Amino acid sequence: MSMSKSINPGAFNRGAVDRWAAGNGLPTLGKKSVKPKRILFHGNSIPVGYNAAYPTGNAGAWANSPISAMKRALIGAGYQVQDEFFEGTMGYTTAASFASFDTRLTIGAGWDFNGIIAANYGVLRNSTTQNSCTFTPTTPVDSATLIFRSHALVGLAQATLGAITKTLDIPATYGFYRIDFAPSDGVVLGNNALQWNRRASGGTVDLAAVYCWNSRLPSFQLLNASASGARAQHIANAQDAGRSLYFPELVLSAGDEAWWMTVANDWRANALPPMNDFRGYAEAWVQRRLDNGIIPRIIVDPRTALTGGTATVTDMDAYTATLQEVAAAKGAKYYEMKDRWGEYADAAAAGLMVGGTDYFHPNWYGAQDMGQFLAQIALSA
């Protein structure tokens, strides 16, 4: 009986494994294995998937977003993936429009959008009824986190996952509060729907985020915390650290990743922030991730059309250069969609953009290609 040749025994090492395979006459699989990771996306309407030009219009558009396309690309590469998460109302300003966009949601009467920062960021609020909302994951889950927000408002909340129900008394103390479910609570892995409601005489309940997952499954977890209209000052929480575009640390831990994915709303001619302010927002966002052991990456939007005074090449280059400088100084990985698609005219000519009066959203084909790009980034070191 022959034995395989041992090459560089000891700790797991990718290069040693490849040499072992070659030394034993085994073919390579053509790809390196990557440990799945949890990634939170901080972006604007592009990663949200807001797009009336998708095949179904904006209804159910979450399933056609670049993040959903990234999920399919990772699954195609042989990885397990879950994306059972939403944050705020992702820029939608009514509960009905948000539920139409994300068909995993059923929103009970009495729950609606409540704006925190202008129209772009909000929570699902109920101050009047005990009706439930339901989030139905597309994959089996045995764990969940619900994050509630308090701003000097007392609220009585309740949530159920599987056969387990928990309650939360939200104090009139400014901050975020949570209900967590896990197998240790008795939750059995399965096609569990998550429900939540305001209890009787329950004051005001503001739901800020929902996250469900399978604790047994080593998988990529894709958490889309983007919002239509997001700008640098919003994702850096420059206006107020407790307001609605929550710090990633509410759901991430050391070793997880957070991706900055917005600049198009900043380089618009009618919304240019002072460059020093913009740089400060980016530096603060990256540094906070680093301080908490979270790996930051910066991914720059596709270029914007030059029609209607929406942007200039000079402005796009200037704000992009600032992000690149911040990434280099902080040691964060940096990527540009321009490197893949070229200028807006190139992307439009390739059939990747919506076009017409829409000056920066990818169309369905563009969103799928962007998802491929994001999957490649996720599989990189």
Write out the residue limits of the CATH 2.60.120.260 domain(s) in the chain.
104-217
Looking at residue 4, its pLDDT comes to 40
**Model pLDDT for residues 60-89, shown as the tens digit of each residue:** 888 889 999 999 999 999 999 999 999 988
* CA–CA dist 135, 275 (Å, integer): 40
Instruction: Provide φ and ψ at 207, rounded to 5°.
Output: -90, 125
- What architecture is domain 104-217? Sandwich (2.60)
Give the type of residue at 335: Y
DSSP 259-292: EEE--TTTSSTTSPPPHHHHHHHHHHHHHHHHHT
Q: In angstroms, how far is CA 63 from the centroid of its own chain? A: 13
What is the CATH T-level fold of the domain 40-80+218-381, as seen in this structure? Rossmann fold (3.40.50)
Write out the residue limits of the CATH 3.40.50.1110 domain(s) in the chain.
40-80+218-381
- Cα-Cα-Cα-Cα dihedral sign, residues 327, 333, 338, 339: positive
Residues 6+ apart with CB under 8 A from 69: 367, 368, 369, 370, 371, 372, 374
**Model pLDDT for residues 177-192, shown as the tens digit of each residue:** 999 999 999 999 999 9
Looking at residue 271, its pLDDT comes to 80
Q: Is-above-0.85 flag for pTM? A: yes
Looking at residue 12, its pLDDT comes to 46
* CA–CA dist 310, 258 (Å, integer): 28
Residues of the chain with pLDDT under 50: 1-12, 241-242, 244-245
Looking at residue 10, its pLDDT comes to 47
Looking at residue 120, its pLDDT comes to 64
Question: Within the chain, how many helices (H) and strands (E) appear?
Answer: 10, 17
